Amino acid sequence: MPAARLGRAAREAVSGLPREFWWLWTSTLVNRLGAFVATFMALYLTLDRGYSASYAGLVAALLGLGGVVSALLGGVMADRIGRRPTLLVAQSATAASVALLGFMTDPVAIAGVAFLVGMASNASRPAVQAMMADIVRPEDRVRAFSLNYWAINLGFAVSAAAAGFIAEFSYLAGFLIEAGMTAVCALVVFLKVPESRPTAPVHKDEPQVSLGTVLRDGRYMAVVGLSFLVALIFLQGDVALPVAMGRAGFTPADYGLAIAVNGVLIVALQIPVTRFIEHRDPRTLLVVSSLLAGYGFGLTAFAGSVGVFMATVCVWTLAEIVNAPTQTGLVVRLSPVHGRGRYQGMYSLSWSVAALVAPLMSGQVIDRFGAKWLWGGCAVLGMVAGLGYALLMRGLGVSRGADSSSVVAAAGDTAPEPAPAV
């Protein structure tokens, strides 16, 4: 029976993972359930405060700049002082800075505190990714990362839909609720999540991993570069889409409903799609997902109703569902055990730099040329990223039908060069 098969698939998806993973998963879910500020920040600045799209882009860029600063720092901290202390410091600082941002009224103060929020919130990402790789068996990691991604988007689906309605009631309430729920995340980590950092290499001739090691890893840096292009596309949903919908006369609640489709579809499809694609050709998956992302946003140029906006979100959400587990598997398996924090920090940096560039780019393009030019640019970026993945994966010797695990394992055969730790 379909119900029996569904139940069996659900049990297989969650079985065999350690208790520590589930507490970390719970912390992630709580964090995303309260992630209101990122959703309504552009609307708050343009509609409530009356600032231009360029200023909203500047503030979002400062959030991204903070993430750029902390991505590598968080990775180094995760390797040096441990995953758990890094998480506690980052989440506590995020809670305090988000609450403070809600009370800022001066444009310079808003920009400055936004930078602090970006720096604090992004510092936890390398530690979370490294900790999951530490505590989950290699054969279960793709499944674990998919479940974590599912939790992120379950929380996002709820918070995105709620954010629009909360914004209509009180923007300040959104800031304070997010701060409180982030503090709860820190409490969960403090009470339930033990340290997972592997012991230091015991052999003197075992290579140490520094940031220089990561930078010299050409294949890994190629993945980071392509991740930047894909992130540049997906992040338009956070800044450009709400601004474009607002200028077209749609309300915050309209945007909340449209973007909530992203989270709802990922919650519904992420796990079954991951099971379907895990043995497919990863080169094809990465190329197709890049093209879908670009053209999905490109189709937004033709949207004139909430329903059409929701349809375009469906297209690029499918790209996200396919890209996330495939890309994550590539990143994790290319990362050496004693350098996971630094490698994850570099990967996180690609998204942080994209978070810096995307709002600046979108704000300027919308103000100068109009939103349709931005959506066309997204289509071009998707084609460039797709071509890049095709060339990179061909260089790694991918053959049709190979699964992502074997491809990545083959890609990671070469050990990093010895270097003094940073």
Q: What is the pLDDT of residue 315?
A: 94
Residue 326 lies in a domain: yes
The model's pLDDT over 234-286, given as tens digits with 9 standing for 90+, comes to 999 877 898 888 888 888 788 888 888 887 888 888 888 877 876 778 788 88
The verdict on residue 305 lying in a domain is yes
Does some domain include residue 181?
yes
Q: Of 33-37, 87-91, 250-254, 348-352, where does mean pLDDT reach its minimum?
A: 33-37
Tell me whether residue 86 is in a domain.
yes
Which CATH number is 261's domain given?
1.20.1250.20
- Report the domain count for the chain: 1
* Mean pLDDT score of the chain: 80
DSSP codes, 159-184? HHHHHHHHHHH-HHHHHHHHHHHHHH
Q: Is residue 211 part of a domain?
A: no
- Closest by CA to 217, choosing from 353, 346, 64, is 346
pLDDT in tens, 109-141: 998 998 999 888 888 888 888 888 888 887 777
In terms of phi and psi (left: phi > 0; alpha: psi -120 to 50; beta: otherwise), the region of 275 is alpha
Percent of the chain with pLDDT over 90: 20
For residue 195, pLDDT over 70 is answered with yes
Taking residues 196-208, what's their average pLDDT? 63
pTM above 0.75, yes or no: no
Q: Is the pLDDT of residue 411 over 60?
A: no
Q: What is the secondary structure of 377-409 as a DSSP string?
A: HHHHHHHHHHHHHHHHHHHTT--TT--HHHHHH
Residues 317-330: tens digit of each pLDDT: 999 988 887 887 77
Query: Hey, what are 79's tokens?
Result: 């390797």
Contact by Cβ (8 Å): 154, 32: yes
Residues whose CB is less than 8 angstroms from the CB of residue 54 and which lie 6 or more positions away in sequence, other chains included: 363, 364, 367
Tell me: pLDDT of 316 over 50. yes
Domain that holds residue 322: 20-189+216-411
Assigned domain for 301 exists: yes
Q: For residues 68 and 390, what is the distance between their CA atoms, to the nearest angstrom?
A: 27
11 occurs within a structural domain: no
Q: Is the pLDDT of residue 8 over 90?
A: no
5 or 109: which leads in pLDDT = 109
- In whole angstroms, give the CA distance from residue 408 to residue 394: 12
Position 6 confidence tier, pLDDT thresholds 50, 70, 90: low
